[in-house]
């Protein structure tokens, strides 16, 4: 189930899927479905897994040694990285400050009109040092487990000149269920369903959420080979979690 979900994620993350040439830092909790999904990607692709030394406060040292090409993380850490970079930018004054602000404004404008994440001049002059925060080799980033601000997401993309794929799923669905396409410039979405699941919206009339509305809204329900069979020795909770063969997420979605 986990391997199937990992394969589905790997087919979504770009024209160049994860291979044995790639590397990632394993530092998220091993019991978390997000980490299990990424580790599953390494199992099927041959991607190298570098395990961090055990101290999150020294994670940057591990990153500097491993120089990962894939970097998965959660909004809490992305926000810290965002804050650290923004603080450094705010400290820049004079010509340097003007150049940094000009670089950010220009790359954000290019991103919004779909002109990519790279800039021949600004990447070398302004963003090179920022990119080294993740080792300098990152070509794709993944965020999940909680919502992330669109402002932070766009800023990370231009700073590291790499896409950030936002995912959505549950432990009960082996994590990866929806993931955005790397080239999609839009934020505030979680992408379409992966090949390991089907999704439908279940009406919640008492709250005004209807799949027949325009746009369709309702409770997100999952079906597929990556969906759990049930909660361990808890048939009552298992019965509550399903509507027929469809897993009830408890989340409201909009198409």
**Is 6 a residue whose pLDDT tops 90?**
no
176-7-66 Cα angle (round to 5):
85
Cα 45 to chain centroid distance, Å, stands at 18
Mean pLDDT of 230-251: 96
Round the average pLDDT of the chain to a whole number and report it.
Answer: 92
Q: Which domains does the chain have, with CATH numbers?
A: 2-187 (3.40.50.980), 197-254 (2.30.38.10)
Neighbours of 221 (CB within 10 A): 22
The pLDDT, as a whole number, for residue 39 is: 93
d(C-alpha 44, C-alpha 40), whole Å: 6
Contact by Cβ (8 Å): 68, 25? yes
Residue listed under structure tokens 């820049």 = 92
pLDDT tens digits along 31-86: 999 999 999 999 999 999 999 999 888 898 999 999 999 999 999 999 999 999 99
**Do residues 231 and 255 touch, judged by C-beta distance below 8 A?**
no
Residue given tokens 């063969």 in the structure block: 245
pTM of the model: 0.90
Question: For residue 242, what pLDDT is reported?
Answer: 97
Between the alpha carbon of residue 193 and those of residues 11, 60, 164, 223, the distances in Å are 12, 33, 17, 11
For the stretch 139-177, pLDDT in tens is: 999 999 899 999 999 999 999 999 999 999 999 999 989
pLDDT for 136: 93
70 DSSP β-pair partners: 24, 140
* 251/41 Cα distance (integer angstroms): 26
Three-class DSSP category at 8: helix
Which two tokens mark 190? 């979680």
């Amino acid at each position: 189930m986990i391997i199937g979900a990992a394969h589905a994620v790997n087919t979504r993350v770009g024209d160049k899927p994860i291979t044995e040439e790639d590397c990632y830092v394993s530092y998220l909790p091993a019991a978390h479905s997000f980490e299990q999904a990424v580790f599953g990607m390494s199992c099927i692709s041959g991607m190298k897994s570098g395990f961090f030394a055990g101290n999150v406060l020294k994670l940057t040292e591990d990153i500097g040694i491993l120089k990962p090409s894939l970097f998965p993380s959660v909004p809490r850490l992305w926000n810290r990285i965002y804050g650290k970079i923004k603080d450094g930018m705010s400290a820049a004054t004079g010509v340097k400050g003007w150049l940094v602000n000009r670089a950010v404004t220009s790359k954000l404008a290019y991103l919004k009109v779909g002109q990519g994440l790279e800039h021949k001049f600004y990447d070398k002059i302004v963003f090179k040092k920022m990119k080294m925060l993740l080792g300098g080799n990152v070509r794709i980033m993944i965020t999940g487990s909680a919502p992330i601000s669109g402002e932070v997401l766009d800023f990370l993309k231009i700073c590291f000149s790499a896409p950030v794929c936002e995912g959505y799923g549950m432990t009960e669905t082996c994590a990866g269920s929806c993931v955005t396409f790397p080239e999609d410039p839009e934020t505030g979405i979680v992408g379409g369903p992966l090949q390991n699941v089907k999704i439908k919206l279940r009406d919640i009339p008492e709250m005004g959420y209807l799949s027949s509305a325009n746009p369709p809204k309702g409770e997100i329900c999952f079906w597929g080979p990556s969906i759990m069979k049930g909660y361990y020795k808890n048939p009552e909770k298992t019965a509550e979690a399903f509507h027929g063969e469809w897993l009830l997420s408890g989340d409201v979605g909009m198409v």
